[in-house]
Amino acid sequence: MKVMSAEKLGKLIPWRRRSRLNRLGPFEKFAVLLLVVLSIFMLMPLVYILNHALKPYQELFIYPPNIFARHPSFQNFVELLAITKGTAIPITRYIFNSVVVAILCVIIVTVVSAMCAYPISKHKFPGHKLVFGMILLTLLFAPETVAIPRYLVVSKLGIMNTYLGHIMPMVAVPTGVFLMKQFIDQLPNELLDSAKMDGAREYTIFMKIVLPVIMPAVATIGIIAFNAAWGNTETSTLFMQQEEMKTFPFYISTLTSGMANSVARQGAAAAAALLMFLPNLIIFLLFQSKVIATMAHSGIK
């Protein structure tokens, strides 16, 4: 059997294309190279925090510091778990509290923001512009200005030392209302009117028509709410007197406080920092496409 040469085989395959990189012009190749370099540079903090958590104590304080761990070890994580072995509250309790609070915050914040944005956008009740303007006005207030009123509200409601005490102060997210309203504004009024003529109630319209359209905004607000709840220490500091109701970020803030020197527990703090960072990274990677769609103001045109 005769073997065809590569030249003849190439002629018989007209659909064979040049590589995508070869089809780029000089400027486009330079832009790709620049983006690759910038991507590597932006990944360096991620690489550093991962390697820092795996460094043994003798590598944590060497000068000049190393980005990569020479002798990776899980000793820092073992130390982190061992710190609370002799205490009444284990570290798993702090992590459990953070997970519960973060999940509930994501659900409640997205639902409240969507239910607030829908009537402002489509029902046009008297004073809806004033209400929306007041919501946006709250973006100008620094968190410190509302700390005392927030404490008084939580105290009067009697939700100190409860999960509601963690969640309620973070329910109102003006950014979420704004983003969701922008998405709902793109929804044609004729589509909603036809659904009403077919006998659909407001609940059905909201769940079956509005929510699928604003899913990119829902994912974006979910990420924002998760980041805020996962890294929050204010509610544990101000509203929780019982240690078993405090969260993992608060526990991390107490790891190195009150130590006789600046070396003790630094390995455990490095491991805890990685544990705090990983959920945010995973959540963002899972929903990054939705975030990009939100920033591009996608939806029904």
| Residues 103-128: tens digit of each pLDDT | 999 999 999 999 999 999 888 888 88
43 plus 94 within the same structural domain: no
66 plus 113 within the same structural domain: no
288: domain range?
84-295
Handedness of CA 108, 114, 119, 120 (dihedral sign): positive
**Do residues 116 and 179 make contact, with C-beta atoms less than 8 angstroms apart?**
no
250 plus 143 within the same structural domain: yes
Q: How far apart are CA 44 and CA 16, in angstroms?
A: 38
| Section 191-216 average pLDDT | 86
290, part of any domain: yes
Residues 6 or more apart from 231 whose CB is under 8 A from it? 249, 276, 280
218 plus 182 within the same structural domain: yes
65 plus 165 within the same structural domain: no
260 plus 198 within the same structural domain: yes
**Do residues 234 and 149 make contact, with C-beta atoms less than 8 angstroms apart?**
no
Question: Where is the domain boundary, 54, 73, 92?
Answer: 73
pLDDT in tens, 237-287: 989 989 899 999 998 888 877 555 566 778 888 888 888 899 988 888 887
Instruction: State the pLDDT at residue 301.
Output: 41
Total domain count for the chain? 2
Q: How far apart are CA 45 and CA 39, in angstroms?
A: 11
pLDDT in tens, 49-65: 888 888 888 888 777 87
49 plus 114 within the same structural domain: no
25, part of any domain: no
- Which of 9-18, 100-109, 203-212 shows the lowest mean pLDDT across its residues? 9-18
229 plus 180 within the same structural domain: yes
51, part of any domain: yes
108 plus 233 within the same structural domain: yes
136 plus 231 within the same structural domain: yes
Which pair of tokens denotes residue 114?
């969507």
60 plus 92 within the same structural domain: no
Please state, rounded to an integer, the average pLDDT across all residues of the chain.
Answer: 82
Percentage above 70 pLDDT, the chain:
86
Instruction: State the pLDDT at residue 4.
Output: 52
Percentage above 90 pLDDT, the chain:
18
| Section 153-157 average pLDDT | 91
167 plus 212 within the same structural domain: yes
pLDDT in tens, 286-301: 877 766 666 555 444 4
205, part of any domain: yes
Task: Give the CATH number for residue 265.
Answer: 1.10.3720.10
24, part of any domain: no
165, part of any domain: yes
104, part of any domain: yes
